[in-house]
Amino acid sequence: MKIKADTTVCIGAGMCVLTAPEVFDQSEDDGTVVLLQPSPPADQEAAARRAVGLCPSGALSVVP
């Protein structure tokens, strides 16, 4: 599984960090998403997928 983050549409709501803190972080400058693990380990996949689904701005996607 691979995750893509588009920081140009990210609005820094923080849902991804709240949901999968080991996969996502937020930039100190503008709060936009920082991808800590673009290919999350198996035990993080479910949380990462939930975070992608919760993202309000559509900044996150799962690369097929």
Is residue 37 involved in binding other proteins (CB under 8 A)?
no
Looking only at the bridges linking them, the beta strands covering 24-26 and 60-63 are: unpaired
Is residue 14 involved in binding other proteins (CB under 8 A)?
yes
Looking only at the bridges linking them, the beta strands covering 33-35 and 60-63 are: unpaired
Q: How far apart are CA 38 and CA 24, in angstroms?
A: 9
CB of 6 to other proteins, least distance (A): 13
Among 1, 26, 35, 37, binds other proteins (CB under 8 A): 26
> Which residues does residue 25 pair with via DSSP β-bridges, in sequence order?
34
Contact residues for other proteins (CB under 8 A)?
Answer: 11-15, 17-19, 21, 25-32, 50, 53-54, 56-58
